[in-house]
Amino acid sequence: MDLQRTSSLSSSDLVRKYNVPVPRYTSYPTVPFWGNTLPATQAWQETLLSTFTASNKDEGISLYLHLPFCESLCTYCGCNKRITKNHGVEPIYLKAILQEWDKYLALFSEKPVIREIHLGGGTPTFFSPENLTHLLTKLLANADVHPQHEFSFEGHPNNTTAEHLQALYDIGFRRVSYGVQDLSEKVQKAINRIQPLKNLVQATELAREIGYTSVNYDLIYGLPFQTQESIAETFRQVIALKPDRIAYYSYAHVPWKEKSQRAYSEEDLPAEDEKLALYTLGQAMLLEAGYEDVGMDHFAFPEEELCVAQREGRLHRNFMGYTTNQTQLMVGLGVSAISDLYRGYVQNVKTVEEYYALLAMGEWPVMKGYLLTELDVQMRRHILDIACNGQTNWQDSPALALIEEKVVPALQDLAADGLIELGQNELKLTTTGRRFLRSVCAAFDLYLKATPAEGPAKPMFSKAV
């Protein structure tokens, strides 16, 4: 599918043209376009139950648990987090998550079948192995586990212990994702994430010794003081450890949203051309080392399940990122967690205090949501097809006329610039297009077309590169 197409524009020209704020498309419509209201309780719960009934027995459901606590603040981070060294918060928070789960269990018409669990944060390994075991044991007590389940968690190399890994392995976890970000000492100091290489080596070796079948590293390009030389050294060290997957994300510099990012100035960040060079270098080193470019900043070995799922046409993307399971229902538990109801979304409140208070009153801890129209469903399918499969076809789409009017002109521009091969009611990404995948997806985003990404207010999304 890596089609070659030469653009009349240079790489620098492409960056200048397409390096604008666009979503990462973990949902459609994306969160900023939901508004700040919550659909009527009956409406979103009927949507939830309809999806649950249609999919639970065969494909199962996914669970995302947001565990927001961290002992120290990484200044680059845009996640919902709570900084504390007080581990006394652990049992209180986990009790609240189980209370929220009980509310879902009371709604479901039958015992849920759990296909997928992901622990995100924050730092899930902030919690003790004993507390994580308690949480997951209780959570699964009134559920069945799907035979093809996939359980994964995010770990910090500095505090993921053998006890963490063994406890989660015993429950069924087989994939761990370590936040590496960068291995340069100068960069680590700038982002307040001191993480010696020896800690990453130990955490990786422990996971493999225990039996984890997939170890993922998260890396970021565009951080302060990164250079091509420092990135090359980071990748040499990372590739030597042979992680099964690598996510190589673009740093989202949004200091108007994340005050911690004001710890350094924009002058400390790589310029746009240099940032693209950092990505291109990392990508080239990964491809040379035998990784495949899955898309949207993800790489994996050909035999890894992510690549297998893509070849078999079952790769999916949701709020957890890329996943090999196409579950229609994903229940999000914890502060700020989002539930994907297939034809709707609901998001939890963003502070621990609000979350506790609402649950204590017996209320749902939700703050806003959105119910999809039939047109939303159609546009989401095209965006997911591009993000997961590198192509899409709208020949038989009920929205064919609208796509021809609103979308095709943008696609013609993308084709002229060498980002896609455009056929009769179909497109395929080129090699160059993979670097600007979010921009290609954005061609089908009718909400983004109606509301300019740049305006008098600050942009809602990070830039594409």
Q: Which residue has the higher pLDDT, 465 or 317?
A: 317
- Name which residue leads in pLDDT, 437 or 98: 98
The verdict on whether residue 464 carries a ligand-binding annotation is no
In the structure encoding, which two tokens stand for residue 367, read together?
Answer: 């703050």
DSSP assignment of 391-431 equals EEE-TT-TTHHHHHHHTHHHHHHHHHTTSEEEETTEEEEBH
Q: Mean pLDDT throughout 242-259?
A: 88
Check whether 439 has a pLDDT greater than 70. yes
pLDDT confidence of residue 47: 97
Structure confidence by residue, pLDDT tens digits, 24-63: 898 999 999 998 999 999 999 999 999 999 999 999 999 9
Q: Pseudo-torsion of CA 256, 123, 269, 456, nearest 10°?
A: -20
Q: Report angle CA 294, 319, 364 to the nearest 5 degrees.
A: 170
In the structure, what pLDDT confidence band is assigned to residue 407 with cuts at 50, 70 and 90?
A: very high
Question: CA-to-CA distance for 163 and 154, rounded, in angstroms?
Answer: 15
236 in a labelled binding site: no
- Please determine, for residue 4, whether its predicted confidence score (pLDDT) is greater than 60: no
- Asked whether residue 193 is marked as a ligand-binding residue, the answer is yes
Flag whether pLDDT at 320 surpasses 90.
no
Residue 323 has what pLDDT? Answer: 87
Residue 441, annotated ligand binder?
no
- Was 64 annotated as part of a binding site? yes
| Residue 74 annotated in ligand binding | yes
What is the reported pLDDT for 432? 86
> Does 122 appear as a known binding residue?
yes
Residue 76 assigned ligand-binding role: yes
d(CA 198, CA 196): 5
The annotation status of 388 as a binding-site residue, yes or no, is: no
Alpha helices, DSSP H, located in 289-394: 305-311, 352-360, 374-389
Going by pLDDT thresholds of 50, 70 and 90, the confidence category of residue 464 is low
Domains of the chain: 1-29+373-453 (1.10.10.920), 34-333 (3.80.30.20)
Q: Rounded distance, CA 306 to CA 314, Å?
A: 9
Q: Which two tokens stand for residue 224?
A: 């302060």
Supply the pLDDT for residue 453: 47
Q: Is 70 annotated as a binding residue?
A: yes
Selection from 375, 376, 380, 358 nearest residue 367 by Cα: 358
Q: Report which of 62, 80, 81 is spatially closest to residue 72, judged by C-alpha positions.
A: 81
Q: Are 175 and 324 in contact (CB under 8 A)?
A: no
The encoded tokens of residue 416 equal 């002229």
Query: How many angstroms separate the CA atoms of 35 and 383, rounded?
Result: 21
- The alpha carbon of 12 is separated from its chain's Cα centroid by a whole number of angstroms, namely 27
> 455: pLDDT confidence band, cut at 50, 70 and 90?
very low
Q: What is the model's pLDDT at position 313? A: 87
Residue 455 CB burial class (10 angstroms; 0-12, 13-18, ≥19): exposed
Is residue 97 a known part of a binding site? no
Rounded to whole angstroms, how far apart are CA atoms 124 and 121? 6
Across residues 108-114, what is the average pLDDT? 97
Please report the pLDDT score of residue 149 as a whole number.
95
pLDDT per residue as tens digits for the range 330-355 = 999 999 999 999 999 999 999 999 99
Of all residues in the chain, the percent with pLDDT exceeding 90 is: 77
Q: Residue 463 gets which letter from DSSP? A: B
Look at residue 257 in the predicted model and tell me its pLDDT.
78
Which residue is listed with tokens 């960069």? 187
